[in-house]
A and B are shown apart, each in its own frame.
Chain A
Amino acid sequence: KNEVEQSPQNLTAQEGEFITINCSYSVGISALHWLQQHPGGGIVSLFMLSSGKKKHGRLIATINIQEKHSSLHITASHPRDSAVYICAVPYYGGATNKLIFGTGTLLAVQP
């Protein structure tokens, strides 16, 4: 079974700050997912990446397969970025490829 750890669990930032959320996993993977969930809201897939870096607007996701580590960066953070950010990796514990989710990072961006 793959184990997923996210840090920090909670993060408070001032508007405009650069934010980094980290995700580490224990078993080699083919792809890692970053998800976003606003309070009381649905879940949105931000990135699925298997190597290097991806960028979408102010969001950047990086992954280091050798170190089994991924980071999600938010540049010029804004209060609307306040949400829970979740990373997920494949289970690889059996014949299935279901995802294992991290516990999430609760981000609050203050104006």
Chain B
Amino acid sequence: DAGVIQSPRHEVTEMGQEVTLRCKPISGHNSLFWYRQTMMRGLELLIYFNNNVPIDDSGMPEDRFSAKMPNASFSTLKIQPSEPRDSAVYFCASSLRSSGANTGELFFGEGSRLTVL
């Protein structure tokens, strides 16, 4: 399996521009997570989906952030308009979550490094 695939790996944009990050989870996985990592705050969960349905988006910073999962093999995280404080590495992860409390083992993508000037 190719693992979790994210694109782009690096993006540099100017404040106010729209940014779209993409993620292809591992085939067969039913949970998908978007995380943001910064030096100051470490890893933070932004949103996660189970079976393509958003379950918890309480970590999404504000209305400028939105995420979709139109099907089991694709998800996007969009920032519009972007701001310098959005600069971070954004990770997508997927897992196979069985019934019960466990999230299942997480498989991370390589991350998308975003710089907003």
B25-37 interface code vs A (CB 8 A; 1 in, 0 out): 0000000010000
* B105 x A96 contact (CB < 8 A): no
Using A96-B55, A99-B45, A103-B42 as known contacts, say yes or no to A33 and B111 having CB atoms under 8 A apart. no
Q: Tell me if A30 and B102 are in contact (CB < 8 A).
A: yes
* Interface residues in chain B, defined as those with a beta carbon under 8 Å from any beta carbon in chain A: 33, 42-43, 45, 48, 55-56, 58-59, 91, 93, 100-111
Give A102's nearest chain B residue, CB to CB.
B42
Whether B45 lies near A98 (C-beta < 8 A) is yes
Q: A43-B91, A44-B108 are in contact. Are A101 and B42 (CB under 8 A)?
A: yes
Interface of A is mostly: loop
Q: Is the CB of A86 within 8 A of B55?
A: no
Given A30-B100, A43-B91, A98-B56, the answer on whether A104 and B42 have CB atoms closer than 8 Å is yes
B93's nearest neighbour on chain A, judged by CB, is A43
Name the B residues within 8 Å of A99 (CB-CB): 45, 103, 106
Determine which of A41, A90, A101 lies in contact with B43 in the assembled complex, contact meaning CB atoms within 8 Å. Answer: A101
Q: Is A66 an interface residue (CB 8 A)?
A: no
Task: Give the complex CA separation of A35 and B30 in angstroms.
Answer: 20
Tell me, yes or no, whether A75 is within 8 Å of chain B by CB: no
Q: Which residues of B contact A33 (CB under 8 A)?
A: 103, 105-106
Q: In angstroms, how far is the closest chain B Cβ from the Cβ of A37?
A: 9
Residues of A within 8 A of B107 (CB): 45
